[in-house]
Chain A
Amino acid sequence: MSQLKVLKSLVIDSLDTITKGSKTYHIWMGALTLVMLIGMYCYSIQLDEGLSVTGLSDRVSWGLYISNFTFLVGVAAAAVMLVMPTYILKDIDFKQAVLIGEGLAVAALIMCLAFVVADMGGPSVLWHMIPGIGVFNFPDSMLTWDVLVLNGYLFLNISIPFYILFRHYQNKEAKPKVYVPGAILSVFWAVAIHLVTAFLYQGLQARPFWNNALLGPRFLASAFAAGPALIILVLAIIRSSTAFKIEDKTIKKIAMIVTVAAQINLIMLVSELFKEFYAPTHHSESAYYLFFGLHGKDALLPWIWTAIPLNVLATVMLTFGKLRNNLKVLYFCCFILFVAIWIEKGFGLIVPGFVPGPYGKIVEYLPTGIEVGVTLGIWALGAFVFTILAKTAIGIETGELRYKEKKAAAESVL
């Protein structure tokens, strides 16, 4: 009962916090709301007319939505790179960053689920997929595995930070006995969500571009580069705009993770390119289409030739300690690395899987305005959710939000 009271107070307090802030904060939230509304409008058109308003076709049946989904699963999985050192290796540096990382994972997962729903032809019958009520094709379909691991990971990433913040809110220490087992589990779980998502593609013998044993490991490497890179950028913003203290040391340690992951990712890219182009077979045609175009069809060239140089540049720059330890350079590197991996793992992975088609037919895909609108709306939703979570968490961690204080204040008024 008393816990419920605390919870109620926490909800009221956090509502209070998230509705108050600087002018910039209000403009930021207002802008996000606007983009979300535009996204919803675009989605309503898609619901009404069907997926024909997208650039998709029978030949290229997945596009921008699934690309973003794939990429964001990686971002969500990357939270583990902060969880592991903090909770298990007891690395105090990361303690501040980990709550932010987990908040980011929650936001990323919500975006993932939104992208999957946006891609569905029949969102009104999605209950067919709920285990127990519908028919859940487990374990045959990798998509059902994905549903399980994504929702499980979402639960873990909500419950662990919630427990810690809830305790801190009451001025109590969080008991490691309670949350460390969950944290350890989430480490394995994070690897699982990304590996399972890779298997979703890797298991299709129909698509040689995906049917490749390196896909899973490469997913992990690129995720552990792009995710922490995003966390660094977010920490940089939080550091400069709130009272939340994040030390240089923390950011530099995360930068180390980004660097190693980016290097491994690059090695795997080289290995893939070697396999596709040294002794090209029929199965290399998708790679040819992606990097050089096939029969004059070359819609993906600008994308991939933006991604590869950015990826290489960022990795090389990060490799030099002097450059990496310069925070301004680090932020720049993180940004271009994030963009590069978003392209590579989104567009650069999903679309060429369908081109050329099973019988060699080349049909190109470009997203329509409505697709872009829905996509931006979902990204805005993610940013919105993250801002709310982060603001509350920072309020509690900096001691602004406290249950006891409020009670004491109320008593003194009386």
Chain B
Amino acid sequence: MSDNKKWFSIDLGLNKKKETSGSCGCGKTSGGCNSHKEELSADEFYEAAIDASIGEERHKDGFEQVFDVKMDRRQAFKKLTASLLIGAGAVSTSCSVTTGKDTKEKAQIDWEEQFKGNYKLMTDDEKQKTIDRLMRSYELRTGKNIAMTAENAEENVLFGYAFNISQCQGYMNCVSACVEENNQDRDSEMQYIRIHEMKDGEGLKFEEADDNYYHEVPAEGHFYLGTQCFHCDNPPCVDVCPVQATWKEEDGLVVVDYDWCVGCRYCMAACPYDGRRFNWSKPEVPENEVNKNQHYLGNRMRKKGVVEKCTFCVQRTRKGENPACVEACPTGARIFGNLLDPDSTIRWVLANKKVFRLKEDLGTEPKFWYFMD
């Protein structure tokens, strides 16, 4: 159906389903027809779901090739690392008496972390190893424990988001909840979410909106609209990355491997939605404010010189919770859910509200919709 389109099109199976019910014309009530059709569309829906969630990954030839090469390299690196470590270890033990066991372990972790591969190409075992190292490293440095996970995307899940412009009052609870949840740099006051205060009756005039207000809300004669990373289905930021340090996960989340990012900021130039942030200096979070429930691709501690962004709180959403911004919103303006689950609220919104997305003409297919009551 969408084969003839010249631009990229998100495939949620929505269109297909609509078409079947449309062509039948028997409405919701006619039982026999409906059940027969339901079977058929469920089948189609399943196909579409797989397409939307794994899509081109079905044919993994190129990917696998890269993968195989990577494995060889990594093994080579491991051997190299091991031999160098033995050498370095021997030298350090013979030369110094004072070096503690912890220091050596720290050095080893640092070394292995410096030369580890790209997370996107790691096996589950390697993923586990790197988060173990990161947790141990944090413990060695601060004496405190963090819980870091590396859950992969679940099958039949494609995350989407809807924002109710009528409900948002501009309280910015979402912004502060996001900062606290995601361990963002407090020094530069980095924020993933921007709330744009716009004048009533002038439509969506972003260039005249104020996204940095410090007054009582809701301000008379204004309405509010939030933006963040839209987790596009066709993300321009992913294509431009020279090292594949950012990619789209199978559940639709656009994520960054902070340890693989080289900090060229090409993705920031490519993003039409101001969705990415850069750590211009070493990010600082006071020890007592650190959120210790972390995910490798989400809110773990970043370092200076890497790009980061909203991950729809991958550390929460892959455990079945809502993102922090959704949970914090006092007005219920934020709706999050699985686009492939026909019973989800987000699907209800898409089906029953007049939804729209920003800059649709760019063909980025955001998974972030706006609507009004």
Stretch at the interface among A51-59, A226-234, A252-260, A395-403: A51-59
Main SS class of interface, A? loop
Further contacts, 13 of them, CB under 8 A, given A50-B280, A143-B240, A357-B274: A51-B263, A62-B265, A120-B305, A126-B262, A135-B120, A135-B121, A136-B243, A141-B241, A141-B266, A144-B242, A204-B269, A358-B273, A359-B227
Residue A360, interface by CB 8 Å = yes
Main SS class of interface, B? loop
Residue B330, interface by CB 8 Å = no
Question: In the assembled complex, which residues on chain A have CB atoms less than 8 Å from the CB atom of B179?
Answer: none
Q: Could you tell me which residues of chain A, from 133 to 181, have a CB within 8 Å of some CB in chain B?
A: 133-137, 140-144, 147
Stretch at the interface among B33-41, B50-58, B206-214, B288-296: B206-214
Residue A125, interface by CB 8 Å = yes
| Pairwise interchain contact A354-B269, C-beta atoms closer than 8 A | yes
Question: What would be 8 A-B contacts, judged by CB atoms less than 8 Å apart?
Answer: A51-B263, A52-B280, A54-B280, A62-B269, A132-B73, A204-B236, A206-B236, A206-B273
Q: How far is the CB of A365 from chain B (nearest CB, A)?
A: 13
Question: In the assembled complex, which residues on chain B have CB atoms less than 8 Å from the CB atom of A360?
Answer: 206-209
Q: In the complex the two chains form, what is the Cα distance from A362 to B259 in whole Å?
A: 31
Residue B167, interface by CB 8 Å = no
Identify which of A59, A132, A141 contacts B239 (C-beta below 8 A): A141
Q: Could you tell me which residues of chain B, from 181 to 238, have a CB within 8 Å of some CB in chain A?
A: 188, 190, 194, 196, 206-209, 211, 227, 236
Question: In the assembled complex, which residues on chain A have CB atoms less than 8 Å from the CB atom of B245?
Answer: 128
Question: In the assembled complex, which residues on chain A have CB atoms less than 8 Å from the CB atom of B261?
Answer: 121-122, 125
1/0 per residue, CB under 8 A from A, across B268-302: the answer is: 11111110111111100000000000000000000
Residue B1, interface by CB 8 Å = no
| Pairwise interchain contact A121-B73, C-beta atoms closer than 8 A | no
| Pairwise interchain contact A50-B282, C-beta atoms closer than 8 A | yes
Residue B260, interface by CB 8 Å = yes
Residue A356, interface by CB 8 Å = yes
Q: In the complex the two chains form, what is the Cα distance from A125 to B242 in whole Å?
A: 13
Chain A interface bracket (under 10, 10 to 19, 20 to 34, 35 or more): 35 or more
| Residues A136 and B274 in contact in the complex (CB < 8 Å), given A122-B305, A125-B262, A359-B196 | no
| Pairwise interchain contact A359-B363, C-beta atoms closer than 8 A | no
Report how many residues on chain B are interfacial, defined by Cβ distance under 8 Å.
Answer: 57
**10 nearest A-B pairs in the assembled complex, by CB-CB distance:** A121-B263, A360-B207, A121-B305, A206-B272, A52-B280, A50-B281, A52-B281, A143-B242, A50-B304, A359-B206
Q: How far is the CB of B158 from chain A (nearest CB, A)?
A: 22
Q: In the complex the two chains form, what is the Cα distance from A361 to B210 in whole Å?
A: 9
Question: In the assembled complex, which residues on chain A have CB atoms less than 8 Å from the CB atom of B239?
Answer: 140-141
| Residues A128 and B274 in contact in the complex (CB < 8 Å), given A51-B305, A205-B363, A359-B194 | no
| Pairwise interchain contact B274-A359, C-beta atoms closer than 8 A | yes
| Pairwise interchain contact A135-B66, C-beta atoms closer than 8 A | yes
Q: In the complex the two chains form, what is the Cα distance from A33 to B12 in whole Å?
A: 61
Question: In the assembled complex, which residues on chain A have CB atoms less than 8 Å from the CB atom of B121?
Answer: 135
Q: In the complex the two chains form, what is the Cα distance from A282 to B240 in whole Å?
A: 25
Residue B69, interface by CB 8 Å = yes
CB closest residue in chain B, given A146: B242
Contact count A vs B, C-beta below 8 Å = 148
Question: In the assembled complex, which residues on chain B have CB atoms less than 8 Å from the CB atom of A122?
Answer: 261-263, 303, 305-306
Interface centre among B120, B188, B305 (most CB of A within 10 A): B305
| Pairwise interchain contact A206-B262, C-beta atoms closer than 8 A | no
Residue A49, interface by CB 8 Å = yes
Q: In the complex the two chains form, what is the Cα distance from A206 to B362 in whole Å?
A: 8
| Pairwise interchain contact A137-B265, C-beta atoms closer than 8 A | no
Residue B118, interface by CB 8 Å = yes
Question: In the assembled complex, which residues on chain B have CB atoms less than 8 Å from the CB atom of A137?
Answer: 241-244
CB closest residue in chain B, given A130: B243
Residue A61, interface by CB 8 Å = yes
Question: In the assembled complex, which residues on chain B have CB atoms less than 8 Å from the CB atom of A132?
Answer: 69, 73
Q: How far is the CB of B259 from chain A (nearest CB, A)?
A: 8
Residue A218, interface by CB 8 Å = no
Q: How far is the CB of A55 from chain B (nearest CB, A)?
A: 11
Question: In the assembled complex, which residues on chain A have CB atoms less than 8 Å from the CB atom of B260?
Answer: 125, 128, 135
Q: In the complex the two chains form, what is the Cα distance from A187 to B127 in whole Å?
A: 47
Residue A119, interface by CB 8 Å = yes
| Pairwise interchain contact B236-A121, C-beta atoms closer than 8 A | no
Question: In the assembled complex, which residues on chain B have CB atoms less than 8 Å from the CB atom of A61?
Answer: 265, 268-269, 278
Question: In the assembled complex, which residues on chain A have CB atoms less than 8 Å from the CB atom of B196?
Answer: 359
Residue A101, interface by CB 8 Å = no
Residue B86, interface by CB 8 Å = no
Residue B264, interface by CB 8 Å = yes
